[in-house]
Every structure is written in structure tokens, then in C-alpha cells.
Amino acid sequence: MELTIDPMNRSSPVPALTDHLGYWLRLVSNHVSAGFARRLERHGVTVAEWVVLRELLDVDALAPSRLADRMGMTRGAISKLADRLVAKALVDRQDDPQDGRAQTLALTAAGRRLVPRLARLADANDAAFFAALASRERATVEAALRKVVAQHGLKHRPVD
Amino acid sequence: MELTIDPMNRSSPVPALTDHLGYWLRLVSNHVSAGFARRLERHGVTVAEWVVLRELLDVDALAPSRLADRMGMTRGAISKLADRLVAKALVDRQDDPQDGRAQTLALTAAGRRLVPRLARLADANDAAFFAALASRERATVEAALRKVVAQHGLKHRPVD
DNA sequence: GTCTTTTTGTTGACTAGGCAACTTACTGCT
DNA sequence: AGCAGTAAGTTGCCTAGTCAACAAAAAGAC
């Protein structure tokens, strides 16, 4: 390929950035996330914090390390993230009485109250961004993305 | 909605993270970018640096501020990014003789040599990630994403 | 029962970006 | 010509991650 003789010096038609599906994915994804971040900002919450809150809603209590696994972040990051959420009184951190190393994170009453409001923002953001797509089209895209996730066994890594 | 009477306490079925298309987008996008970053790592280049190099390939010389516009980054970020690329001898920074404020960035010979190799990594990464999709399916996804981009007039913002 | 290994969470150094203040230089108005 | 306004690039401070070293505690080996 690159060894092909090319007297006219046009041997390497380097593909454009936009030739990769990953480019479009990242472009749209970054805008969707940034848009959501803007909406969350008014509530003093970041996207990563939202994910924690939403995760905690279902489980009632979760070890930071489990959260790290679920979110695809390091324990160090979760440690600091939890600090912030505790400071905002949205999350309660408690030592595990069974295991001196372990902790457990849970929503406070305020956190539990906030989640549904933020969920509505998430709905609105998604709807606004993908309004251009017919619902059939949206389903197709989601199916394709799920297929990619399945094929590569991608673990949750919603935040960078 | 949240005012609906609900004696069973099931009034707010808060949607799951996975109910949003944006979630899947971000999950896949982050993995694709992280995968690409890993491939680039061996060449001592980051994804943002790759984007700069690829942009410069077409134009031969570009002002940092134009680059900032194209990449959706601040001038401050471009300033530092250019520093790194100059340090790696992949980019040449030159003062504009016409305008005492302005500069111009251009690929060095080494930079120009590197781009096609990195482009191959980009191709490989994209192909590997989306191998699960039929080419028709890939085209559908790309069309949908382009539609979203068009409807919102999204400017280039490939890097966070 | 002790000693090694593993696990849990924290911390500090580092990175890459944003934002805003700043310097320098050009532009346009009069 | 001079001066206000604007544009280009740099810098310092901030944020939110990673990574690796660490302390404390539990688990496992024997």
C-alpha cells in the first residue's frame, strides 16, 4: 500500500477525521454531555455526580469500590466524588460495622428528593438532542450501539 | 405527573441511565476514544494532538485561533497543545510577519511523516470497534448522527 | 496463632482542559 | 495622528480525572 509506486506523489490519501464513525460519535456525545452538564449546573451537580446519585437510587447503599466498578472510574476518583456529594449533603457516607475497611454510600433524604428532578433534565436533554430523529431511527441507533457494547463486552464507563 | 395521587408510593418511576440514547452514545464514544488513545500512546501522541496534526495536514499552515475554532477548544488549550507538539518536533510555530500578534502552525517534516501512520491507527480502531455492524448499519448510524449535528448546528468539538 | 497476601479507601503528584486577566498589536473613527 | 476598541496568544488558577504509594483491616496459608 504505502510501497506502491506513485510518481505523482498522491500515494497516501489520508482519510479525513470525519471518515470515522468514532468522530461523529464523539462529536455528538460531547455535545449531548455538555448540554446535560449545563442543565445540571443550575442544580449544582455535575454529570459524574448525577450518575452516582442515579446509581444509589436503586440500591439504597453501595460500597465506593462497587460504584467505581459500575462507573468505570478509579477508586481515587470515587473517593473525591463522594467527598463532594457528602459536602453537598446529597450522599451519606457510613463506615461498615462488619468490615473496618469498608464504607457504604447512600442517598440522603435531600439526595433522594433531587434525583427525580434531575432525571427529568436527563429526559429533556435526550429528547431535545434527538428530536431530529424519528423514534424508529433512534431505536436503530440504540440497537447498533448496544450491539457494539455487547460484542466488546464494554463495562460501564459513562464518564471519561 | 409528580402530583398524581399514588397510594402505593410508586409515583416516580425514575428512568434508568440506560434509558437515554445519550448514555449509550457516551459509553461507546468513550470506549472508542480510549481505545484510540491506547493505540496512539505508543507513538507518544494524544487524541487531541492527533486532531491537530490531521487538521494541519490539509492546510499547511493555520493560526492557533482558527484551530481553536475548528476543534472547539479555547485558545488557552491550543496554546498549551501547540507547546507540546512543538516540543515533540511535530509542529512548527512561526510568527506571522504581517501581523505581530499572529502565529502560524505547520507540520514539520516529522509531523508530516507521522500523520499517515496515525491515520492507519484511526482506521484500525474504527474498524475494530464497529466490526459488529454491517456497513449498511454503520451508514445508518452515521446518517443519524449527521442529522443531529445538522439540526443543532453543532460546531466541531471532537475533544472534551 | 502468626505471617503473608489481598482488599479498601485515601492522598499527593500529575495531566489536560476551561476561564479570565493580561500584554501586545492591529483597526477604525475622527 | 491619536485614541478607543478589538483581536491574538499566554499565563495562572481551578476542576476533575488518573496513577501509584500508602495505611488499615480482613482473609488465607500453614
Tens of pLDDT, residue by residue over A91-130, are 999 999 999 999 999 999 999 999 999 999 999 999 999 9
- Note the pLDDT of residue A95: 96
- B77: the nucleotide nearest its CA (via C1') is C17
Q: With helix as H, strand as E and coil as C, how does A6-20 read?
A: CCCCCCCCCCCHHHC
Nearest to B154 among A31, A146, A156 (CB): A31
What residues does A104 pair with on adjacent strands?
A94
CA distances from A69 to A66, A151, B77 (A): 5, 19, 31
Classify residue A102: in a domain, yes or no. yes
- Note the pLDDT of residue A3: 47
**CATH code: domain of residue A115:** 1.10.10.10
For nucleic chain C, give residues with Cβ below 7 angstroms from it.
A 63-65, 75-76, 78-80, 82, 93, 96, 99, 101-103; B 46, 48, 72-77, 80-81, 84, 98-101, 159-160
CA atoms within 13 A on the CB side of A71: 28
> In the predicted model, is pLDDT for residue B109 greater than 70?
yes
Mean pLDDT of chain A: 91
User: Using CA atoms, how far apart are residues A11 and A106, in angstroms rounded to an integer?
Assistant: 59
ipTM confidence: 0.89
- Note the pLDDT of residue B139: 95
Classify residue B11: in a domain, yes or no. no
Classify residue B141: in a domain, yes or no. yes
Q: What is the mean pLDDT of residues B84-112?
A: 96
Classify residue B139: in a domain, yes or no. yes
Query: Residue A53 belongs to what domain range?
Result: 42-152
- Note the pLDDT of residue A50: 97
Classify residue A51: in a domain, yes or no. yes
> In the predicted model, is pLDDT for residue B30 greater than 80?
yes
Count of the separate structural domains present in chain B: 1
Classify residue B134: in a domain, yes or no. yes
Tens of pLDDT, residue by residue over A47-70, are 999 999 999 999 989 999 999 999
In a 10 Å sphere around its CB, with 0-12 CB exposed, 13-18 middle and 19+ buried, how is residue B2 labelled?
exposed
Place of cell 505581530: B100
Joined grid coordinates for residue A116: 427525580
* B93 SS3 class: strand
Classify residue A34: in a domain, yes or no. no
pLDDT band, residue B3 (cuts 50/70/90) = very low
CA atoms within 13 A on the CB side of B81: 22
Classify residue A27: in a domain, yes or no. no
Tens of pLDDT, residue by residue over B126-156, are 999 999 899 999 999 999 999 999 999 887 7
Q: What percent of chain A is predicted at pLDDT more than 70?
A: 90
